[in-house]
Chain A
Amino acid sequence: MNNMKQFQQMFLAQLKLTLREKQAWFWGIFFPVILMVIFMVIFSGESNEDFQAQVAVVNENQNETSDMLLSQISQMELLDIKEGTFNREDAEELVEEQEVDAAIVLPASMEETSLSLIINKENEQGATTQALSGILDKLIQQANLSAAGATQTYQLQFESVTSGTNELDYTDFLLTGMIALAIAQGGLFGMVDLVEMRRKGLIKRLRMTPAKMSIFGLSDMAMRFIFSIIQIVLLSLIGVFIFGANLYINFFSLIVVFLFGALSFNALGYFISSFSKTTEAYMGVANIVSFLMMFLSGVFFPIETMPEWIQPVSHVLPLTYFAQGLRDSMVYSTSLASSTLWIGIGIIFLWGAIAYLIGSWLYKTKSIVATR
């Protein structure tokens, strides 16, 4: 009864402290949002649109061959053909001034068999050029085949496979990665309060009262959970409504992954606080840990894109599994029955449990709680 009242008051105090701490809002809310927006704008903005190249077609002397090729080219959706008729000089000028991506010069007579592609030297290595030459190559091959009277024997079929119901867009990948990072950092950096309270003698002061420290810790964790939920909701809303991320959430899995992840990263923060005598020392360690994990845990880019020798490190870090767990539960709607999800949660839990145990042991043996 009295415990409940104590919890309420302590939680209320924690809520006010968090609301009034500007730093918490900046690093916990504003910073992850900005970071996510920047990454999404840089890496996912343009590339999602369909490929299309604008070309000018030079057909100076109309003949059967050129008409046949022109009709085939016009049917290709990937090519946007500039209106009007051009001679070779006009076309070259357009390419030079980059008004079109390329110019295609059709055969000048029925007998001529070559087709030329004029591109700007600057763009020689560009993706558009590569694609265009590929397209024309294919066109010519088909023309050659039909000229030889042969039919195509082999065909390439392109299919993509994912384990989920839909494809993983980079937006979805980054969104879930950022949520994982924000929650992880909340835990890693958040426990600096403990160092600060110890330094100011506030922990000692509370120990002089009959206040139950376990209730105090519980109210602190409750506040941290609420803060993390705000992070998840806010980042998801921005991801979905501004950048068009697709989420298929399995709420039960999400809650379990979230609880284990948030607790474990808070435990890591607690561990760091157990041997840091000053705020600066704490922040130094937390920064190193957070930086390492940020880039090695597949938050921004898939782990598979990293050098092979570094990948084993990624497969040890808790953030890897937390980000993966959030992806599974928020994008693939994976149920808890999935063994990958369970193994990931297990590894996260192991990290948290070990960090907490060593942290408590250090608190007891070095008894820095009691030091002034």
Chain B
Amino acid sequence: MTVLEVKQLKKSFGAIRAVDDISFSVKAGEVFTIIGPNGAGKTTTLEMIEGLVPPDQGEIKFGELNWDKHADQIKMKIGVQPQSSAMFDLLTPEENLNLFSTFYTSARPTEEILELINLTEHRNNHVKKLSGGQRQRLAIGLAMISDPEIIFLDEPTTGLDPQARRNIWDIILQLKALGKTTILTTHYMEEAEKLSDRVCIVDQGKIVTLDTPASLIEQLTQEREVHLSFIDGAEAAEQAELFMTKLESVTRTERNQASLKIWTTKPEDTLYELFKFTKENNYHVEQVSIHEMSLEDVFIAFTGKEWRD
């Protein structure tokens, strides 16, 4: 079931085309990620969908609802965590949540939200004393207080340390388990890959590509990179390299002392042949790994640009 449909969205600020013809639709229960470098138009796209910025052109539909006619109904259905994570600094997390809960016709118990965002311990501290990660979790909590069907998270992990980022990933995965639809923006590729059902890569206000992370990577190339290292030293590695080059599926090899890198279009077959060879010659392999392609490689392939965090 489609819960959100966006058609040919356009927005310019002066001479700058922030969003230039973006269309997509989001299904119930999925984590939909919009990813792109800074200034790609992610936040503007989100703010138009959230009803904050009117689009110059295009259509936004939440099922049968649209902003012109059903603003209040839409606001009841969505939860938003804006990039600025604005809240009342002199109130505690509990007081902030309680206040926000009165804005909606129905709300989840504050207790439950505090538990979910792991702030029960800090419920009585003033918000201004919270760390960046704690603030961000509270901002997500405020977005969830009304138990919305659709949650918008605008770069929830930007500027956080790895531990704090992981905490937020846990929250997003819990939301998914609850069957909520999440629309997420980020500029961390790793995050998009881990969390999303579908990824929409935008650059310069346009959608570059849109698909599941796995098929985006798959589309890219069939070639895989395999890393090996041998206990028996450089000699064994050299013998193995010689053998590998004879295989049809192997396109390239590279050796550095006892460690060997091979590129193959059929990783399973190649590994089978490799282990047969080492067994016969009584060589011992210490480490094997298949290097996976990432969304970063997808981005580079589609835009021809370096990825910059």
Q: Do A and B come from one complex?
A: yes
| A contacts, CB < 8 Å to B | 2, 5-6, 9-10, 13, 16-17, 20-21, 200-202, 204-205, 207-211, 370, 372
Report the separation of the CA atoms of residues A372 and B84 in the bound assembly, to the nearest whole angstrom.
9
Decide if A200 touches B84 in the complex (CB within 8 Å). Answer: yes
Q: Please, which residue of chain A has its CB at the minimum distance from the CB of B51? A: A208
Contacts of B171 in A (CB 8 A): none
Q: What are 19 of the A-B contact pairs (CB < 8 Å)? A: A10-B99, A10-B102, A16-B91, A16-B95, A17-B90, A17-B91, A200-B89, A201-B82, A202-B88, A204-B52, A204-B86, A205-B80, A205-B86, A208-B50, A208-B51, A209-B104, A210-B72, A210-B103, A370-B52
Rounded to whole Å, the gap between the CB of B110 and the closest CB of chain A is 12
> Is B105 an interface residue, CB under 8 A from the partner?
yes
**Which residue of the partner chain B has the closest CB to A10?**
B99
Q: B99 contacts which chain A residues (CB < 8 A)?
A: 9-10, 13
Q: B67-96 vs A: 1/0 string, CB under 8 Å?
A: 000001001100010101011111100010
Flag if A20 contacts B126 (CB, 8 Å).
yes
Please tell me if the beta carbons of B52 and A17 are within 8 angstroms of each other in the complex.
no
In angstroms, Cα B87 to Cα A208, docked, is 12
Does B87 lie within 8 Å of A202, measured CB to CB? Answer: yes
Residues on the A chain within 8 Å of B277, using CB: none
Q: Which residues of A lie under 8 Å from residue B80 when comparing CB positions?
A: 205, 208
A319 CB to nearest chain B CB (Å): 30
Given A6-B103, A13-B95, A211-B103; 4 other pairs, CB 8 A cutoff: A2-B105, A10-B102, A20-B90, A209-B100
In the complex, whether B98 has a CB less than 8 A from a CB of chain A is yes
Q: Bound state CA distance, A20 and B86, in angstroms?
A: 18
The residues of A that contact B290 with a CB separation of less than 8 Å are none
Instruction: Tell me whether B90 and A204 are in contact (CB under 8 A).
Output: no
With a cutoff of 8 Å between Cβ atoms, the chain A residues found around residue B82 in the complex are 201, 204-205, 208
B53 at the interface (CB under 8 A from A): yes
Contacts of B84 in A (CB 8 A): 200-201, 204-205, 372
Task: State the 4 A-B residue pairs at the shortest beta-carbon distance, nearest first.
Answer: A201-B84, A201-B86, A211-B103, A205-B86
Given A13-B91, A202-B86; A208-B52 close (CB under 8 Å): yes
Among B51, B80, B99, B102, which residue has the most Cβ atoms of chain A within 10 A? B102
- For B52, what are the chain A residues with a Cβ–Cβ distance below 8 Å? 204, 207-208, 370
Q: Which residue of A lies closest to B72 (CB)?
A: A210
**Residue of B50, B89, B103 ringed by the most chain A CB atoms within 10 A:** B103
A-side contacts of B98, CB under 8 Å: 9
Tell me the complex Cα distance, A302–B39, Å. Answer: 60
CA distance A209 to B82 in the complex (A): 12
Closest A residue to B77 by CB, please name it.
A210
Which residue on A lies nearest to B89, using beta carbons?
Answer: A200
Distance, CA A13 to CA B94, complexed state (A) = 12
Q: How far is the CB of B19 from chain A (nearest CB, A)?
A: 16
In the bound complex, residues from chain A placing their C-beta under 8 Å from that of B72 are 210
Given known pairs A5-B102, A9-B98, the reply for A205 and B75 (CB within 8 Å) is no
State whether B102 touches A6 (Cβ < 8 A): yes
Which residues of B have CB within 8 Å of A6? 102-103
Please name the residue on chain B nearest to A3 by beta carbon.
Answer: B102
Docked Cα-Cα span, A6 to B146, in Å, equals 14
Q: Which residues of A are found within 8 Å of B105, using beta-carbon distances?
A: 2
Closest chain B residue, CB of each to CB of A200 = B86
Residues of B within 8 Å of A205, CB to CB, are: 80, 82, 84, 86-87
Distance in angstroms between the alpha carbons of A370 and B91 in the assembled complex: 24
Chain A residues contacting B95 (CB-CB under 8 Å) are 13, 16
Chain B window 28-52, contacts with chain A (Cβ cutoff 8 Å), 1 for yes, 0 for no:
0000000000000000000000111
Closest chain-B Cβ to A177's Cβ sits at a distance in Å of 32
Contacts of B75 in A (CB 8 A): 208-210
Residues of B within 8 A of A210 (CB): 72, 75-76, 103-104
Q: State the Cβ distance, B38 to closest chain A Cβ, in Å.
A: 14
Chain B, Cβ-Cβ closest to A205: B86
Nearest chain A CB to B72's CB is how many angstroms away? Answer: 5
Q: Which residue of B lies closest to A5 (CB)?
A: B102
* B76 proximity list for chain A (CB < 8 A): 210
CB of A251 to closest CB in B, whole Å: 34
Q: What is the 8 Å Cβ interface bit string for chain B, positions 10-41, against chain A (1 contact, 0 not)?
A: 00000000000000000000000000000000
| Bound CA span A332–B50, Å | 57
Interfacial chain B residues near A2, Cβ < 8 Å: 105
Could you tell me the distance between the alpha carbons of A205 and B95 in the complex, rounded to whole angstroms? 16
On chain B, the residues within 8 Å of A13 by CB distance are 88, 91, 95, 99
- List B175-219 residues whose CB lies under 8 Å from chain A: none
A7 smallest CB distance to B (angstroms): 9
Nearest Cβ distance between residue B46 and chain A, in whole angstroms?
A: 11
Cα–Cα, bound, A17→B98 (Å) = 14
B50, closest chain A residue (CB): A208
Residues of A within 8 A of B102 (CB): 5-6, 9-10
